[in-house]
């Protein structure tokens, strides 16, 4: 699944362009569960969107 996640990250980065940063993150939730996600952040912003990885397609994440 990690290879597919890398492919999705690469494709999302291509679609959004250089003004966005797209990277893999691992987030510790309140119940000590670690979730893998894809973080998308516009480079001039201090906030980011994290899509937790459940095998979505590129189109689903970009939306």
Indicate the domain borders of the chain: 2-56
Q: How many alpha carbons lie under 13 Å from residue 31 in its C-beta half-sphere?
A: 2
* Band (54; pLDDT cuts 50, 70, 90): confident
How far apart (Å, rounded) are the C-alpha atoms in residues 17 and 61? Answer: 15
Computed from CA positions of residues 22, 1, 7, 53, in that sequence, does the dihedral angle turn out positive or negative? negative
What's the predicted TM-score (pTM) here?
A: 0.79
Computed from CA positions of residues 28, 2, 55, 40, in that sequence, does the dihedral angle turn out positive or negative? positive
Whether residue 62 is predicted with pLDDT greater than 70 in this model: the reply is no
pLDDT tens digits along 2-43: 788 888 899 999 999 999 999 999 999 988 899 999 999 999
């Amino acid at each position: 699944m990690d290879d597919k996640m890398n492919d999705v990250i690469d494709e999302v980065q291509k679609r959004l362009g250089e003004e966005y940063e797209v990277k893999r993150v691992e987030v510790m939730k309140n119940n000590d569960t670690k979730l893998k996600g894809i973080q998308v952040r516009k480079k001039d912003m201090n906030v980011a969107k994290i899509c937790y990885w459940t095998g979505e397609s590129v189109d689903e994440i970009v939306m």
